[in-house]
């Protein structure tokens, strides 16, 4: 069964035929919301809204440990994470879909491992390739089947938020090699790896990153909403093909 974690702009999957909702408790506390089980395009899927169903949990307060643990408990076989991002690379304009292939983590103070309890031996996961190669290909193939253009590859910078970045910070991220910037990609990806859950991301560029827009008015929040509304229609089409694959 495929799991989909929905971010900003995707708090529900309208095309999901819902069969049940399940409130799950974990040793790490409560997930962002109930797990929503259903059928998407003929295939079983479980959906979780990362920021809660009313979009009330900011990125640094998401209980990533509980979310991933709950999905593991639900016996999902893979996780596709949908998350909106700012575009740093010039061709990542608002509305662009990207399946990133690398991560740089700038977050801090988040509980980012399951391997720190006194009774557990130290464990280092291999994170050379942070996303699951096969699942990435599955998402890319689904996009092709859906006729939606998706960029293959990009370096995702995970920032702490909830504020957006300064223009100088974006310049630094670009010098570091980042193409996209978001606030929720970590520790989510690493926790999935710790639980041996194949994980890939489908990023939606909501805005040009700070200082990168042609507009002199900074980041326009009303236009972000419109961009996400339109882009999520395409994201849903891609997801329908992923679930079927
Ligand atoms: N920066 C960080 N996270 C984001 C952005 C951004 O510009 N847009 C959407 N999520």
Nearest CA to ligand 1 atom 3: 182
> Which atom in ligand 1 lies closest to the alpha carbon of residue 209?
7
Decide if pLDDT at 217 tops 90: no
- State residue 120's pLDDT score: 77
Among candidate residues 86, 90, 84, the one with its CA nearest the CA of residue 234: 84
- State residue 179's pLDDT score: 98
| pTM for the whole structure | 0.96
Domain that includes residue 94, residue range: 2-244
- State residue 72's pLDDT score: 98
- What mean pLDDT comes out for the span 98-124? 92
- Domain of residue 38, CATH code: 3.40.50.1580
Reported confidence tier of residue 227, pLDDT bands at 50, 70, 90: very high
Domains held by the chain: number: 1
What confidence tens digit (pLDDT) does each residue in 44-92 have? Answer: 999 999 999 888 999 999 999 999 999 999 999 999 999 999 999 999 9
- State residue 29's pLDDT score: 96
Q: Is 159 in the pocket of ligand 1 (CB under 6 A)?
A: yes
ipTM of the complex: 0.99
Q: Is 59 in the pocket of ligand 1 (CB under 6 A)?
A: no
CA 41 / ligand 1 centre spacing (Å): 30
- Count Cβ atoms within 10 A of the Cβ of residue 170 and give its class: 0-12 exposed, 13-18 middle, 19 or more buried: buried
* Residue from 183, 211, 213 whose mutation best tests the ligand 1 pocket (most atoms within 8 A of CB): 183
Q: Name the average pLDDT for the chain.
A: 94
Decide if pLDDT at 140 tops 90: yes
Decide if pLDDT at 121 tops 90: no
- State residue 12's pLDDT score: 80
CA 43 / ligand 1 centre spacing (Å): 31
Q: Report the distance separating Cα 85 and Cα 180, nearest Å.
A: 6
CA 161 / ligand 1 centre spacing (Å): 9
**Per-residue exposure over 73-111, b if at least 16 CB sit within 10 Å of its own CB, e if not:** eeebebbbbbbbbbbbbeebebbbbbbbbbbbbbbeebe
CA 49 / ligand 1 centre spacing (Å): 18
């Amino acid at each position: 069964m495929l799991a989909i974690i929905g971010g900003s702009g995707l708090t529900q999957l309208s095309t999901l035929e819902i069969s049940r909702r399940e409130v799950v408790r974990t040793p790490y506390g409560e997930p962002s919301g109930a797990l929503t089980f259903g059928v998407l395009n003929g295939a079983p899927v479980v959906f979780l809204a990362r920021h809660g169903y009313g979009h009330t949990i900011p990125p640094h307060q998401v209980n990533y440990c509980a979310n991933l643990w709950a999905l593991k408990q639900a016996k999902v076989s893979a996780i596709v994470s949908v998350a909106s991002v700012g575009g740093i690379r010039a061709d990542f304009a608002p509305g662009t879909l990207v399946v990133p292939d690398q991560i740089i983590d700038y977050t801090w103070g988040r509980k980012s491992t399951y391997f720190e309890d006194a009774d557990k031996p130290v464990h280092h996961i291999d994170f050379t390739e942070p996303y699951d190669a096969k699942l990435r290909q599955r998402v890319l193939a689904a996009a092709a089947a859906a006729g939606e253009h998706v960029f293959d590859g990009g370096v995702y910078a995970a920032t702490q938020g909830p504020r957006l970045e300064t223009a100088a910070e974006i310049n630094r991220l670009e010098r570091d090699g980042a193409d996209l910037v978001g606030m929720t990609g970590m520790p989510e990806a690493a926790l999935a790896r710790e639980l041996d859950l194949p994980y890939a991301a489908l990023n939606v560029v909501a805005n040009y990153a700070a200082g990168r827009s042609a507009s002199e008015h900074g980041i326009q929040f009303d236009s972000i909403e419109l961009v996400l509304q339109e882009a999520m229609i395409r994201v849903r089409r891609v997801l329908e093909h992923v679930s079927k694959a």
